Structure 1
Amino acid sequence: MTASLEEVAYKLAAGGKGILAADESASTIKKRFDAIGVESTFDNRRDYREMLFRSEAMSQYISGVILFDETIRQNAKDGTPLVKLIEDAGSIPGIKVDLGAKPQPGCPGETITEGLDGLGERFKEYYDLGARFAKWRAVIDIGQHIPSYTSILANAQALARYAALAQAAGIVPIVEPEVLMDGDHDIDRCYDVTEWVLKEVFQQLFYGRVKLEGTVLKPNMVIAGKKSSKQASVAEVAEKTVRCLKNCVPTAIPSVAFLSGGQSDEEATAHLDAMIRAGGLPWNLTFSYGRALQAAPQKAWSGKTENIAAGQAAFTHRAKMNYLAALGQWTPEVEQKKAA
């Protein structure tokens, strides 16, 4: 029996499990590998991801995995499709379908995410390859005179078109409007922009006739820019993020899975935990982390076969910490019980 959109969307954030974002583009994974002294070859990328997908973390803490086009087509070293490794662990395969953010004409310093052309046909192929959910990321930067309404509207409309196409293909859309934390803005500025963006996105999802019950939201947390001289406490980030979501996100959305957006591993975990502890949330709240789940295992692995067990242990530890956070059970003390 094929799971419905609603069932998949709910399962992606149920019971404390969360999503592994392993959808780095070729250029991004190269940067990650360069940092640990590993050449970004087809085989090395396969071996690294196979290491993650064969870890015990997959069955215990990971609900779904967002894949890149290359990875959804790859087989493990023994010939098993990587998608099957994910499915055998009880996790759901997903796929990144956008083609990246490109400069937006008439909007200096702003971008528009591309990839809508031919997307309906690509969805059919990805469904046949095993994908049951997808991801599209819109990028909203905060700076002097930006974001503009022109950019927010264009990105929200693209998200809505993508989401409608995904659902038509039987695939759950993850809608990701990311307000970047790269600037020097304070947390209140982030709140205002995030609220503006989320309200416009849900307006466009309504106009696009997207079924919210079969949709997952992947938002940024409300947090000060990395260059801001005034960083907010964990409690303030949690309070303002929850307040912003309650003001903007319909209760029909079953699952909200946060991106980490450049936060440190422990910050991303602590903020999620504080939000869950606040209680009174109408959605399943969890994580959809990339770097915040992968930095530690990448470093532990460093491209060496003899380090596979250490890499898997590091990944399992980070996944467990975020699983506990999604249940409101994480503490700094349990964080210190590092992977062996």
Structure 2
Amino acid sequence: MVGKAAVLIGCNYPGTKAELKGCVNDVHRMRRCLIDHFGFTEANITILIDTDDSYTLPTGVNIRRAINRLVRSANPGDDELFLHFSGHGARLPAQPEENDNTGYHECIVPCDMNLIIDEDFRHFVNKLADGCRLTIVADSCNSGGLIENAKEQIGESTAKRKDEAFVDVPAGVELHARAGNGDIHLTGRALPIPILVELLKESTGKEDIHEGNIRSTIIDAFGDSASPRLAKSGHNRGIVDVNGKEESTRDKKQSTFLAPTAPSGRSVLISACQSDQNAADAKPVVKPEGAYGALSNTIQSILADQAKGEVLSNRKLVLMAREKLAKQGFTQRPGLYCTDEVAEEPFLTSDSVV
């Protein structure tokens, strides 16, 4: 018997210049998929969305707390954890002294702009219980490499193909396209730095924000709610650890957050696209309320078409998603990040819940 738990996060950013349409839909559809196909229960699925006050708001601190609780809930053995994020992605240039395998810090963008970066995700997976597996689906732009230094099985984020040019859905620009059997409007799920700067100005009331001080702005604005990993360069201040306790010394901070340990669990990242690509937020012309993320919709479609008893490995699922998206006219190319062994393991299992 396998214990199962999930955290599903959808950020539509309603009423802002960054508004998307399909992210909350992705969450509700993925919830149904987990229950129907993989034996998850309602009680073990945590949902954070920003369009319904009856749910927890997906702020930066709330997302980190939910992920920390998810990771801590697992017991050593075969427990299976699932994390789904649909929303904006972004990336910040890595500092010269940082050994980042893509050259950037890939981020997810909570509804309050309190960024969660690739090093945060590395910290989460390093805390997995022995034998436990965490599968992350990131339906956001710039999501390739979202787990810092995870092995790239499928993708071009850590070893760029210089002879290839990526053509993407422009961030913040709505395009008309055709996918499948109907017309759709596409919006990129990237949050360009200028828009991030503008939204940070609005939320903080500060005007002296630019690309060079985004890190310090977030740290100053959100205090102990900001990512501890953002504070690692040039900020000697108290930070909050995974259990919510403050650590006050720079040495303690560096030993806790900057020296990665070998993860004892098994992590999987399925990214919607490469580190330098946009992912599509698709809104059907005929039924705009049915908006969706291209990756989320594709994964759910593949799973719905599975023959009874058919098992899809992580590698096969990502390859099928790439093929299906390309046939539908999407330019984004999903990625897979995990060990060689985990790449061949099933994408989730249909075992009963404990």
Normalising to structure 1: TM-score of the pair? Answer: 0.30
Higher relative contact order (CA 8 A, sep 6+): 2
TM-score under structure 2 length normalisation? 0.30
Query: By percentage of residues, which structure has more strand?
Result: 2
Q: Which structure shows the higher helix fraction?
A: 1
